[in-house]
Amino acid sequence: MEQFIVSARKYRPDTFESLIGQENIARTLKNSIQRGQLAHAYLFCGPRGVGKTTTARIFAKSINCLNPGPDMEPCGKCESCLSFAEGRSYCIHELDAASNNSVDDIRNLTEMVRIPPQVGKYSVYIIDEVHMLSSAAFNAFLKTLEEPPAHAVFILATTEKHKILPTILSRCQTFDFNRISVPDIVGNLESIAAKEGISIDRESLHVIAVKADGAMRDALTIFDQIVAFCGRDVHYEDVIRDLNVLDYEYYFKIVDNSLAGDYMSSLLLFDEILSKGFNAMYFVTGLSSHLRDLLVCRNSDGSALLSLPPSMIERYREQASRCSVQFIFNSLNITMGCEAAYRQSGNQRLLIEFALMRMAEKALPQEQTPAPAPAQARVQAQPKAPSAPQPQEQSQPQPKSSAPVQTQASVPAPVSEAPAPASAPKQKMPGLSLKDMLAKARTNEVEGKDSAENLVDEPLSFEGIMNAWQELAGQERAAGRSAMSTAMLLHSPGIDIESGMLTFYVSNVAQQDWINEKALPRMESFMRKALRNKKIKIDVQIYDSGEGAKASTPYMPTDKARFLIEKKPELQELVKDLDLDIK
């Protein structure tokens, strides 16, 4: 049986021309060889599987080739090229910095650099994963890298450029390798499939290319896996099942259901997706990408931003034509918000299901939403309306309809009165001062006192007084006077129901003076209005170990019950008849 060689090794590029997706780098290196402008150190940076080490090998072969072509490609037939291909070259050395990262390893490398090449002009040292070197090893390598022998060329490769010391970066020519595009990966896979005699459609190749995430080596590895699963005849359904990729069809159906307002079908599809073992977060991320593609496809030039086969692009355009931009924006806001809240959610499935329901709700026509209602309400709430609303005014009860009809009959009235509310604040606001505000506050207190004096003397009760006192404390807290509110709640007032006198106990003279000067009129006015009794007065006293201490203790429910029984002895008989226990 013939030994199997994975596609990543079997079809590894061996010339600059066969490099995929790195044309600019290949051109730069070929020009440097042709013009004799070789640097002594190069740094190749980029993601995995994009051709860093492969490019380093081709470059090493080219500068040592005895018979290079006119475009500086290695011939592949000379002794230098053959020895490298067979793994017996003493001119090209490959080291793995992940396993040779100590100072001693760098010292051994320094000793090797002194040996001139046996065949060719240069001794090339390819150091892969160079970021794995320790700081001490980097420092030991600096002198050799800065002033190497004339025959030495270093090619460093790394996936993490930020971990390389700046002193190393400054001594190297740096080349940044890009991720390979989906069309380039698909084209290369098509070529390999044709050479291997494998039948596979472009949709399947596109799924493989997207799964590879810009890495050709990953794409070739996935390709071998698919061929092992499907054989020589590969179908799209087999590919998505083997790679555990969610079919685009689900996203198209979710959007169609949302456009129809059918959230239940979307929930059933989501349940089917979960039953197949897909991660819920993976579904939400894919749905966001699908909505982004729909938004892009609404523009005729946007298809260039999609790495999709033509048949799939046409389907995106068809669905995008049925979606409004507002619907796509709303849906994207919903899905991205769902992604942000997913990890912190205690019920992640419900979070996604609710997002699907909201998508269906947002797709409803604008006429069904209550957005215009506030505007209509504001129009109807205007005091002076045009002649159109007059029939509605006349349909009101007759005692109230005659006066509004007469005021609206004159057309100049709305015109003359409409600017008045707007102009009045503009004249008053700039003229307000602290003195005016204090004077206005005192006027309000006096007016409140006068209105309280007009109240009838309703009977007072212990419960009513305490409820009003607590309500006053809450009002003080709402107004930002927390200290006052706390003092009122901690020190319940002494109550004389017959005279209406409330004794408010405070802890010191400063509090007593402040309350008498600033708060007492306000407190008395509130209590009189709340209890509808003008006899209410508040006396602020400083409590001591005697009466004040006793009064400062909050009344308990048992105290209130005993107080009521003392006032009305018949309640004691009711307690006995009902067999109640006062605790």
Backbone phi, psi, residue 273, to 5°: -65, -45
From 125-129, 237-241, 300-304, the region with the lowest mean pLDDT: 300-304
pLDDT at 546: 47
* Rounded percentage of the chain residues whose pLDDT exceeds 70: 80
Residue 378 clears pLDDT 60, i.e. is over it: no
Per-residue pLDDT, averaged over 404-416, amounts to: 40
What are 433-456's pLDDT values in tens digits? 545 555 555 555 555 554 545 566
pLDDT at residue 87 in the model:
81
State which of 344-358, 471-485, 494-508 shows the largest mean pLDDT: 344-358
Say whether 71 sits in a helix, a strand or coil. Answer: coil
| 3-state secondary structure at position 382 | coil
Q: Confidence band (pLDDT; 50, 70, 90) for 266?
A: very high
Q: Is 324 helix (H, G, I), strand (E, B) or coil?
A: coil
Which pLDDT score is estimated for 190?
Answer: 93
pLDDT in tens, 100-123: 888 888 888 888 888 888 777 899
* Residue whose C-alpha is closest to residue 177's, from 27, 30, 21: 21
- The answer on pLDDT for 375 being more than 70 is no
Can you state the angle between helices 248-259 and 263-275, rounded to 10 degrees? 160
- Listed residue (216, 224, 225) closest to 49, CA to CA: 216
pTM attached to this predicted model: 0.59
Residue 50's pLDDT band (boundaries 50, 70, 90)? very high
pLDDT in tens, 178-210: 999 999 999 999 999 999 999 998 889 999 999
Output the average pLDDT for the chain. 80
Non-local CB neighbours of 246 within 8 Å, separated by 6+ positions: 240, 273, 278, 282, 283, 286
Token readout for 559 is: 């105290």
**More confidently predicted of 67 and 373:** 67
pLDDT at 83: 87
The pLDDT, as a whole number, for residue 117 is 85
Across residues 375-383, what is the average pLDDT? 44
pLDDT interval class at 419 (50, 70, 90): very low
Give yes or no for residue 468 having a pLDDT over 80. yes
Residue 57: predicted pLDDT: 92
| Candidate from 37-51, 64-78, 349-363, 477-491 with smallest mean pLDDT | 477-491
Q: HEC profile for 149-217?
A: CCCEEEEEEECCHHHCCHHHHCCCEEEECCCCCHHHHHHHHHHHHHHHCCEECHHHHHHHHHHHCCCHH
The share of the chain scoring above pLDDT 90, in percent, equals: 31
